[in-house]
Amino acid sequence: MVGPYRGLFKEPGVTGFVLAGFIGRMPMSMLGIGIVLLVSGITESYATAGAVAATTNVSFAVAAPLSARLVDRFGQSRVITPLCVVNALSLASLMLCAGFGLPEWTLYVSGLVVGATSLSLGGMVRARWSHLHAGSAKLHTAFAFESVADELIFVAGPALVTVLATAVNPYAGLSVALVCMLGGSLALAAQRRTQPPVQGHTSGGGSPILIPGIALLSCVYLALGAVFGSVDLVTVAYAEEHGVKGASGFLLAAIASGSMVSGLWFGSRHWRISLRGRFVRALGVLVVGLLPIMFIGDTRVMAIGLFVAGLAISPTLITGFSLTERLVPPSLLTEGMAWISTSIGFGVAIGAWAGGRLTEMYGASNAYGFTLAAAILAVAVGVGGSGLLRLPEAPSPAGN
């Protein structure tokens, strides 16, 4: 299963941008739960915590395509540096506002700036892979590797931030996230040799969101983001209801572990089924995997249930990014990738808000019903509009 991944790192500079991108995007799994743990501890309200986390995600979702367009136009290095510095300052401001007990609105303002200046490093790394392996079977494997890296981040990140926040200091987890973001982002910006070349935009280029297939994928990932956002918050509440709040990070790591295992397997295979077919099937598997979690009352069994539910996540992300790479012209590739991230961000914000409200109203187990409903919606949209995902001629070796 590891064999196909061995040849990915032969090109000069690949190891450097992969490591920098990995470290720099660690906060994507730490920020949400870190904010929830900090704000809920201060305000004793999951609704408030979910709302602050949602503000951050909505802000990121709105700003990500704009910053990605700047990247496509001016290059990664020129855009990353100023944004990551402002992002670090705004995250520090959020922690200071919480620490000094400033009015609640200051948390929302700080979270707004944190989200607006967050970088979609995953899309930038994938754009570098696309520049290296466009039209090659290696690109499918590279995207699979990046999805596995994402899931490894989601395995380690929530557990790390939970341990730091509960056993060391409420601010320790977010502080580590800040250092990882700043160090990894600056390291990626310094590696100019492997960044995609800046390509001129034609006057009629438009935006990738106007491409029907990208619009459909964005709608699907909006619903999937609601799955991810609600699972994060509801699982923290579930662990607290069962007297093991410190284990919430490990429960979240279970679902990411399932996704990581499936991603390794999925990326090591050469598929005869089309990308479109793989995408739709992965969505269906996700719904089936989420069905049992509403009825589990034991945290150890829940860890197994979340692991099973996670098995469909990586295949869905891998095929989604592969479809995006095939549907979007090269001059708009980073922005196209960002529309996937921004849709997930909007969905995460909706899921965090709804998860917090429903948890307080009906309890954590019942709130998982929203997670399942969002997954069903993703399947309905993906299957209903799958005709828009037919790819142009000259398919890649990975299939279309």
Tell me if 72 is assigned to some domain: yes
pLDDT tens, position by position, 119-169: 989 889 988 988 888 767 778 788 888 878 887 787 678 778 888 888 888
Tell me if 357 is assigned to some domain: yes
> Nearest CA to 371 among 216, 218, 238, 217?
238
Residue 396: per-residue pLDDT = 43
Tell me if 398 is assigned to some domain: no
Residue 199: per-residue pLDDT = 66
N- to C-terminal Cα separation, the chain: 22
CB atoms under 10 Å from CB of 197, counted, come to 7
The per-type count for the chain, helices as H runs and strands as E runs, is 15, 0
Tell me if 25 is assigned to some domain: yes
Low-confidence ranges of the chain (pLDDT < 50): 202-204, 393-400
Give me the domain span that covers residue 21. 14-195+209-389
What is the distance of C-alpha 348 from the center of its chain? 9
pLDDT tens, position by position, 302-329: 999 999 998 988 888 888 888 888 888 8
> Nearest CA to 114 among 131, 99, 96?
96
For the four alpha carbons of 23, 53, 222 and 58, in that order, the dihedral sign comes to negative
Tell me if 2 is assigned to some domain: no
Please count the CA atoms within 13 angstroms of the CA of 172 that sit on its side-chain side: 13
Residue 353's alpha-carbon distances to 4, 57, 84, 227, 235, in angstroms, are 41, 11, 26, 12, 14
Tell me if 153 is assigned to some domain: yes
Residue 272: per-residue pLDDT = 81
CATH number of the domain where residue 377 is located: 1.20.1250.20
Residue 4: per-residue pLDDT = 67
CA angle 94/104/185 to nearest 5° reads 20
Q: Alpha-carbon distance 280 to 316, whole Å?
A: 8
Residue 162: per-residue pLDDT = 81
Tell me if 400 is assigned to some domain: no
Q: Alpha-carbon distance 396 to 398, whole Å?
A: 5
Tell me if 200 is assigned to some domain: no
Number of domains, the chain? 1
Residue 380: per-residue pLDDT = 94
